[in-house]
């Protein structure tokens, strides 16, 4: 691994340029590519392009590959399942693989009481079904979500997201209520952690009681506010938010599509606060990138009529991959490793930012870390830093002015250290240029 990253040719030259040109002609203009990169192979935390360049991947395929690419046990599980059956419509018959996954998740899901599952084909679809379930169970219509948080682009998951371009696709959003997403490190009320009584939640409750006092079906939230970057959330805030949901007789719906499994140093981000919800949604990271969506919910919440969610979700290859992913994480101690490495990287980057007096914020938990660029042109500077890192062979990604670091949970130590060295070099270079200008 000593020769990685290795950049020998411009990434858009030769065959890559030809492929990109074909893509421009044939694929929807709506696609946003994080990198001008044409993938050939992904092995662990190393991405190889069609021009023979090799990159260190600190994105895990934008969060979808918790074990990196082509983990041998995941590949074997998929191949073994393919040898039996790749798909048989779950509306037609039973299959034991569904139950194996349900039993695995029921042991770890942050749900109050007995757990039942719904299977579908993506995280966004899981959010969509969770919202519909909340409306059915409660007999109410209004769903509360938080400004800036992203929950998908399918059906009701799109209504819960607040991206303006996406919401233009909606016929109406009258059954949605949007309130500010809270960042406890930057309290909107100016309170310190010592003085915090989660007054922001009381303001939320008061607003709901005025706008939709008897019609709130559910509250959709991401435990770390993903969409705006990586937000700090206190145990008091999460606890009071869930208390408010209960008092308002609304179901608490946690979007853990990108935070589980094990990404945050716990199986679920909610485990950091010992929090339990009514429904939790997972997506493709659960199956190491294969298409899957899962809702784990309280038994009594899934009181649906026969056939209401009777669909073809739950491809057997994805189910087999999900079971293997959970097994590898458990057997290799990757929950604990995520916590341990996250603490080390967080401390290392905070020391650097403090030494350089940049004023940037470094935060996150486990191996979901955010480097928030601040000051004038913050988003532009974050974009420039991401591009510079790509140029030298390190893949990181960005939400607004926050640079996200989400390496595979099992990344080799030498690749992790080399990637951090590249990141630190570019941060120092940015600091020098900023002081000189």
Domain spans, the chain: 56-63+334-436, 74-331
What does pLDDT average to over the chain?
Answer: 92
* 204 phi, psi to nearest 5 deg: -60, -45
Query: Range with the lowest mean pLDDT among 148-157, 168-177, 255-264, 419-428?
Result: 168-177
CATH of domain 56-63+334-436: 3.90.1150.10
What pLDDT digit, counting tens, does each position of 67-116 carry? 999 999 999 999 999 999 988 878 788 999 999 999 999 999 999 889 99
The pTM assigned to this predicted structure is 0.94
Task: At 355, list the tokens.
Answer: 């030494």
Whole-angstrom distance, CA of residue 312 vs CA of residue 319: 13
pLDDT band at 168 (very low <50, low <70, confident <90, very high): very low
- The CA-based angle 184-222-60, given to 5 degrees, is 105
pLDDT score recorded for residue 380: 97
DSSP 3-state assignment of 71?
A: coil
**pLDDT at 155 exceeding the cut of 70:** no
**pLDDT at 304 exceeding the cut of 90:** no
Whole-angstrom distance, CA of residue 301 vs CA of residue 134: 8
Q: Which residue has the tokens 């949901």?
A: 245
Contact predicate 221/137, CB 8 Å? no
Q: Phi/psi zone of residue 155: left (φ > 0), alpha (ψ -120 to 50 degrees), beta?
A: left
Percent of the chain with pLDDT over 90: 75
**pLDDT at 190 exceeding the cut of 90:** no
Q: Phi/psi zone of residue 60: left (φ > 0), alpha (ψ -120 to 50 degrees), beta?
A: left
**pLDDT at 156 exceeding the cut of 60:** no
- The CA-based angle 274-247-195, given to 5 degrees, is 60
What pLDDT digit, counting tens, does each position of 230-246 carry? 988 889 999 999 999 99
Q: Which helix (H) or strand (E) holds 179?
A: strand 176-180
pLDDT band at 171 (very low <50, low <70, confident <90, very high): very low
What pLDDT digit, counting tens, does each position of 47-63 carry? 999 999 999 999 999 99
Give counts: helices (H), strands (E), the chain: 13, 15
CATH of domain 74-331: 3.40.640.10
pLDDT score recorded for residue 188: 80
pLDDT score recorded for residue 182: 86
pLDDT score recorded for residue 12: 97
Antiparallel, parallel or unpaired: β 293-298 and 46-49: unpaired
């Amino acid at each position: 691994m000593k020769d990685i990253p290795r950049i020998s040719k411009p990434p858009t030259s030769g065959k890559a340029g030809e492929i990109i040109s074909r893509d421009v002609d044939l694929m929807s203009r709506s696609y946003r590519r994080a990198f001008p990169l044409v993938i050939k192979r992904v092995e662990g935390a190393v991405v190889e392009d069609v021009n023979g360049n090799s990159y260190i991947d600190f994105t895990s395929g934008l969060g979808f590959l918790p074990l990196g690419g082509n983990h041998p046990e995941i590949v074997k599980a998929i191949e073994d399942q393919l040898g039996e059956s790749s798909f048989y419509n779950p509306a037609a018959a039973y299959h034991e693989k569904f139950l194996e996954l349900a039993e695995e998740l029921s042991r770890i899901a942050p749900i109050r009481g007995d757990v039942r599952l719904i299977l579908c084909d993506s995280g966004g679809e899981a959010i969509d079904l969770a919202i519909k379930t909340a409306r059915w169970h409660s007999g109410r219509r209004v769903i509360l979500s938080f400004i800036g948080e992203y929950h998908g682009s399918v059906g009701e998951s799109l209504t819960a997201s607040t991206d303006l371009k996406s919401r233009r696709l909606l016929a109406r959003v009258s059954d949605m209520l949007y309130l500010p997403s809270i960042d406890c490190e930057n309290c909107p009320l100016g309170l310190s952690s010592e003085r915090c009584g989660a007054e922001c939640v009381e303001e939320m409750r008061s607003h709901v009681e005025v706008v939709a006092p008897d019609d709130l079906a559910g509250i959709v939230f991401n435990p770390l506010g993903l969409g705006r970057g990586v937000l700090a959330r206190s145990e008091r805030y999460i606890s009071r938010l869930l208390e408010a949901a209960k008092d308002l007789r609304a179901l608490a719906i946690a979007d853990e599509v990108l935070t589980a499994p094990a990404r945050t140093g716990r199986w679920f981000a909610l485990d950091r606060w010992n929090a339990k919800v009514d429904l939790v949604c997972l997506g493709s990271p659960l199956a190491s990138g294969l298409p899957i969506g899962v809702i784990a919910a309280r038994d009594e919440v899934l009181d649906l009529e026969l056939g209401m969610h009777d669909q073809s979700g739950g491809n057997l290859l994805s189910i087999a991959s999900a079971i293997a992913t959970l097994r590898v994480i458990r057997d290799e101690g990757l929950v604990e490793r995520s916590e341990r490495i996250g603490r080390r990287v967080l401390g290392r980057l905070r020391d650097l930012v403090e030494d350089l007096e940049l004023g940037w914020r470094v935060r996150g938990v486990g191996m979901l870390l955010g480097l928030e660029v601040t000051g004038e042109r913050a988003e532009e500077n974050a974009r420039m830093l991401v591009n510079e890192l790509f140029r030298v062979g390190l893949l990181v990604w960005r939400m607004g002015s926050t640079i996200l670091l989400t390496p595979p949970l099992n990344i080799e130590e030498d690749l992790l250290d080399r990637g951090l060295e590249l990141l630190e070099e570019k941060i120092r270079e940015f600091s020098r240029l900023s002081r000189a200008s």
